[in-house]
Structure 1
Amino acid sequence: MNRLVLLLVSSVTVSAGVIQERAAFPFFYFAFGDSYTTTSFNIYGEQPSLSSPLGNPPLGQGTYIPSFFDQVSYFFEPKYSSPHVAQWGSEDTIASVFFGINDCAVSYNLGIPGFVPAKTRVPQLMAAYFSLLDNLYSQGLRRFMLINIPPVDRSPLVLGFNDVQQAGLRNYYKVYNKALQNGVKTWLRTHKDAYISLFDYNQWLTNVLDNPSDYGFPDSTCIDPSGQNCIWWNDYHVGSRLNDFLAQRLVVAMNALGYNGGIPVSGNYV
């Protein structure tokens, strides 16, 4: 996710960054996510600063991604929560959460006997997801940007599966994204001083895949290891140029949380 991190300061586990270039005032940003978020940031290495916004990450996807639970419990809370660090506060910090792709893929397991149906597994995933959001809230975070599952069922990898497997994964992602949307509404009702921007990555990337030439890509399935000439960097992850476009949309969702100095509001964004 090479180019996106230049704007958003994301990491393999959790990264802390000062966002200033386009912010009305210095903003702190913590990114929790899977391989679509990683930069291999090391929480014990150089920390992000105004002179070095990304800190220490060697840009590019890693191979081992700690779970959301691990990122919150073993990285964020011991390293960045009060009283360990006092630089950030509830009004100048945004946390993004981007999980679900691997949870659904592993749970579905290509539909082999014994797989867990979406109607059973997704509620369990949502319970864990919002429980961890509670943990972050209890540490003082109040502004969250949540990102749903993109249409990875249209990735070159998944397009190589049979029709039944593709449909099964697509349904899993659909159930997950709907549950996330409903979960946000429920969570906000009991956390009235918190704000959530829910970014619909699924709808946005679907539009790109349906209209690749509008974004300068030749088609919706080609792969370019440089990340520049195709939507896909490999058969499952999008490239850095696609992430440039994505970053422009994510800033809109961040501005709704006060990144541009405005009053924070909750809402859905594409």
Structure 2
Amino acid sequence: MVSYSSRVAFLGLGLFTGAATAQNYWFSFGDSYTQTGFLTNLTLPSPGNPFGNPAYPGYTATGGANWLDFDTTTYNNSLVLTYNYAYGGATIDSGLVAPFEPTVLSVTDQVNEFLGTAGSPSEPVETTAWTSENSLFSIWIGINDLGNSYYLSDNRTSFDTTLLNAEFALVQKLYDVGARNFLFLNVPPTDRSPLMLAQSTEAQEMLKANILDFNSQLAEFIDEFKASNSGVTTFLWDANAAFTTILDDPTAYGFIDAVSYGTDVGYFWINTLHTTSPANVYWAEGVADVLSGSIW
């Protein structure tokens, strides 16, 4: 089996497919699965420092580098400058699903932050020289939305639609300021996380059904958005399938099992809800594979 360190060093999947000297911009939104702790009023991304702040790998929930870290620094064919607005605990909109504490920045807050900084027409071009062609916008959200609400309503399909309407209203705002390339990541099977395995079988089944409905609607929303807006390129990485593949046969991927957690080598889960940095190598690999061969 290939070791974790060897995978990072030698796997050569392409993210951006332009020349090695090309400079591309990645604007990322999401929750703790993506967060690195970026602050817009501190050092901005630049060659040699692709995340700007904080120092690599940032404040992640993985015990090390996360998927976005790996894709920005390793799995690409160009210089990638990543503005990571993701915030731990985020939901799509705190008015729809409250986060674990009121100070958490929802994706609504994150997109508004982008629109007031790098996405603002008044932003100096020499500071953030992104264009529709050289930029990618990614959103990985829904984990907390579903985890904090799956037990509150019998009509989950309707509420999932409400959540996704709110998300894609934000995607439309990004489109309106020039975003054309979008990466979406769906909700992984957190019903199989140690957090949920400590709950009743009924609770696990409820969350699983909710996740499947949300993910199904997400794919439909992506198609509808692309059909309704000219010049759009969309990508969808199936996080649910990727997690399921490993959880169904963890030892084949170098992990002890599918249920325990810890910081030592061999664990898939680092705590009751988040995956370890070695697991995030697989997520980065999967995202890079989805983007490989595209306009990037």
Please report the TM-score for the alignment, with normalisation by the length of structure 2: 0.75
In structure 2, C-alpha distance between the alignment counterparts of 1:145 and 1:212, rounded to whole Å: 27
In structure 1, C-alpha distance between the alignment counterparts of 2:268 and 2:18, rounded to whole Å: 27
In structure 2, C-alpha distance between the alignment counterparts of 1:162 and 1:123, rounded to whole Å: 26
**Partner residue, 1:66:** 105
In structure 2, C-alpha distance between the alignment counterparts of 1:162 and 1:69, rounded to whole Å: 32
| Residues 257 and 24 of structure 1: CA distance in aligned 2, closer, same or farther (over 3 Å) | farther
1:114-193 matches, within 5 Å, as 115=153, 117-193=155-231
Match of 1:105 among 143, 147, 160: 147
Match of 1:241 among 257, 272, 278: 278
In structure 1, C-alpha distance between the alignment counterparts of 2:224 and 2:44, rounded to whole Å: 35
| Residues 52 and 210 of structure 1: CA distance in aligned 2, closer, same or farther (over 3 Å) | same
Query: In the TM superposition, what is the alpha-carbon distance from 1:257 to its structure 2 partner?
Result: 4.2
- In the alignment of these two chains, the number of paired residues is 238
Match of 1:89 among 127, 131, 146: 131
Retained in 1: the 8 A contact 2:270–2:276? yes
Please report the TM-score for the alignment, with normalisation by the length of structure 1: 0.82
SS class of match (2:37): coil
In structure 2, C-alpha distance between the alignment counterparts of 1:231 and 1:98, rounded to whole Å: 20
In structure 2, C-alpha distance between the alignment counterparts of 1:129 and 1:175, rounded to whole Å: 16
**Partner residue, 2:256:** 218
Retained in 2: the 8 A contact 1:47–1:56? yes
In structure 2, runs of 5+ residues without a counterpart are: 9-15, 62-87, 90-102
Query: In the TM superposition, what is the alpha-carbon distance from 1:229 to its structure 2 partner?
Result: 2.0
**Partner residue, 1:262:** none
SS class of match (1:32): strand
In structure 1, C-alpha distance between the alignment counterparts of 2:41 and 2:208, rounded to whole Å: 38
In structure 2, C-alpha distance between the alignment counterparts of 1:24 and 1:252, rounded to whole Å: 21
**1:28 partner letter:** Y
**Partner residue, 1:31:** 28
Query: Higher relative contact order by CA 8 Å / sep ≥ 6: 1 or 2?
Result: 2
In structure 2, C-alpha distance between the alignment counterparts of 1:145 and 1:190, rounded to whole Å: 17
Residues 109-152 of structure 1: CA deviation (Å, up to 9, x unaligned)? xx3xx536312210101111111100000010100100000011
In structure 1, runs of 5+ residues without a counterpart are: 7-18, 260-270
Retained in 1: the 8 A contact 2:17–2:292? no
**Partner residue, 2:47:** 50
**Partner residue, 2:67:** none
In structure 1, C-alpha distance between the alignment counterparts of 2:20 and 2:147, rounded to whole Å: 36
In structure 1, C-alpha distance between the alignment counterparts of 2:281 and 2:221, rounded to whole Å: 29
**CA RMSD, aligned part only?**
2.3
